[in-house]
Amino acid sequence: MKPIQISMIAALLALLLFSAILASRSIASKSSIERTIKGDGFAVLELFTYEGCSSCPPADELLAKVQKEAGNRPVYVLTYHVDYWDRLGWKDTFSNADYSKRQYQYASKLNAQVYTPQLVVNGKTEFVGSNESATDYAINSALKGSPKSSVNLHGSLQSGKMAIDYQVTGDTDNDELVIAVVQKNAISRVKRGENEGRTLAHAQIVRQLYSFDLESAKKGQVSISLSKDFNTDGWELIGFLQDPKTRAINAATKVIF
C-alpha cells in the first residue's frame, strides 16, 4: 500500500476515534441532565435586590432567565426588594421592611453578610445573585435532593381573599407554611440613585408574604388577603414549608387555583 494511502487511513481512523469520544461525552452530559430533571428535589431561589443598586440588574436578569427556562421543573423564583437602601436617594417601588428583616434572619443563620444582590437557595446556602455558575450548581444540587416532606396547596378566590387548603406529609411539626404572593413581571423607571435614568424589568416580585404555624396539623385551611391589582394571569402564589429556627426550606409547590 502506498504511503499516502496509509496516511489517509490513519487520519480517518483518528477522526472516527475523536468523533466517538465526543459522542460519549455528549451522551454522558445528556444522562446527567436527565438525572437532574428526574430528581425528587426542588429549588426555592430567594433574591434580595433593590432598584437603586447598580449591581442588582444583572441578578434580576439572571433570575428572570432561570424562571423562563425552568419549564416543568420544581424551581421557584422569588425576588424581595429590601428597604434599607431607600435612604440613599431612591425609594424602591416594591421595597418592604419585612423583606429586609427576612434577609437579616438568613444572614444570621448562614453566618453571612447582608448585601444586594444576595441569593439564598432553599434557605441553606447564599451567594452573589448575579453569579450564574453558582446559581446553576445550586439548582442542580437542590433538584438531586430527596425531601422528607411534601406540601400540596389548592386555593379558592373569594372577593379579594384566597382560601388555601393545604395537606402536608412527613416530619413537619417544626415547620411553618409560608405563602408568597408573586407578581410575575413589572417595569420601573428609576429617577435617582445609582440606576438613575434606567428602565428596569423585574420578575417574580414578592408583593405579600404570609406565614402560618402548622403545629401538628397535616391538613387544614388558611386565608390570605390579596393585592387590589391581583389577577390570575399576571400573578401566582408559591408556598413552602420552612423551619423558623434553622431557616431551611423542606418542601415547596405552587398554589393551584
Taking the domains of the chain in order of start, what are their residue ranges? 43-254
Q: Which three cell numbers stand for residue 168?
A: 402536608
**Are the C-beta atoms of 86 and 192 separated by less than 8 Å?**
no
List, as one string, the DSSP characters of 88-138: GS---TT--HHHHHHHHHHHHHHT----SSEEEETTTEEEETT-HHHHHHH
Rg (CA), the chain: 23
How sure is the predictor about 39, in pLDDT bands with cuts at 50, 70 and 90? low
pLDDT at 87: 85
pLDDT of 77 higher than 90: yes
Residue 82 has φ and ψ, to the nearest 5°, of -80, 165
How sure is the predictor about 6, in pLDDT bands with cuts at 50, 70 and 90? very low
Computed over every residue of the chain, the mean pLDDT equals 87
pLDDT at 38: 52
**Are the C-beta atoms of 137 and 239 separated by less than 8 Å?**
no
pLDDT at 15: 43
pLDDT of 30 higher than 90: no
Q: Which three cell numbers stand for residue 181?
A: 404572593
CATH number among 3.30.470.10, 3.40.50.620, 2.60.40.2060, 3.40.120.10, domain 43-254: 2.60.40.2060
Share above pLDDT 70 across residues of the chain, in percent, rounded to a whole number? 85
Please give the average per-residue pLDDT across 177-193, as a whole number.
96
How sure is the predictor about 255, in pLDDT bands with cuts at 50, 70 and 90? very high
This prediction has a pTM of 0.84
